[in-house]
Amino acid sequence: MTVTEDIEALAAPDTNNLTEVLLDDDQPTRPSALSASLTFGWRAVLKIRHVPEQLFDVTAFPIMMILMFTYLFGGALAGSPGEYLQYLLPGITVTSVVMITMYTGVAVNTDIAKGVFDRFRTLPIWRPAPMVGYILGDLLRYVLASIVIMVVGLVLGFRPGGGFVGVVLGVALLVAFSFAFSWVWTMFGLLMRNEKSVMGVSMFVLMPLTFLSNVYVNPETMPGWLQAFVDVNPITLLVRSVRALMAGEFDASATTWTLVYGVVFTVVFGTLTMRLYNRK
């Protein structure tokens, strides 16, 4: 409180000075779509810098997931935690990163609740730029989470056959898919009334999507009707692709389908997002 008062005591606008500021006015040219999007991405990075605690969910949460699942199920499912880790790690990386995508929706929703969103919407810029900006900022979080998981995985004994290149390719595919998938959340961020309902819907979508997949166990033991779902689940396809890449292989069909899903998510939910954004 005292801080505020101290600043206030010194502050008073100077209208003479203000007139000069108003006169020193040039008409800049409208920024390009890329430049506007990057500027919004920069904003997201600034927010991380000011509130670093928000990185908790991209660091501590994934570590907890790996440790829990490796030691809880490892012995039972694969004979030993070390064995299981070879199977689990690519999948848990996917799960952790896909889980964080929901914070894009939360960020959109929080901004709407505050007036700053209205200001962005009255700017003569490329319309999707603020949305793209959120997601660009989030890419940074996805990469960060992936690095944390990989480091912990390596320490625990994960030995990817694809080496460094395989891991990088796997993470790159994961991040690209997450970018596309984030459009689902920008849509919900615009649609829902408050932050809590955004979180609620996100969990409702993400829990089945990540668990009913090949992340934790081999789908062969599941009943047929469940396998049918698991096989077309985009997370399953993404995990198959990432696993292959990290193992130094290439699963052409899974990778193609993953990319198709990515394009579909971007087109469908990107369009819906922009329609809501223009109407809000």
Chain residues that interact with other proteins, rule: CB under 8 A: 3-5, 7-8, 10-15, 17-25, 27-31, 35-36, 39-40, 42-43, 46-47, 50-51, 114-116, 118-125, 129, 279-280
Report the nearest approach of other proteins to the CB of residue 35 (Å): 7
Report the nearest approach of other proteins to the CB of residue 47 (Å): 5
Cβ nearer to other proteins, comparing 50 with 223: 50
Report the nearest approach of other proteins to the CB of residue 148 (Å): 23
Cβ nearer to other proteins, comparing 30 with 196: 30
Report the nearest approach of other proteins to the CB of residue 31 (Å): 5
Cβ nearer to other proteins, comparing 118 with 249: 118
Report the nearest approach of other proteins to the CB of residue 86 (Å): 41
Cβ nearer to other proteins, comparing 126 with 211: 126
Rounded to an integer, what is the distance from CA 197 to the centroid of its chain? 18
Report the nearest approach of other proteins to the CB of residue 276 (Å): 13
Cβ nearer to other proteins, comparing 35 with 218: 35
Cβ nearer to other proteins, comparing 13 with 223: 13
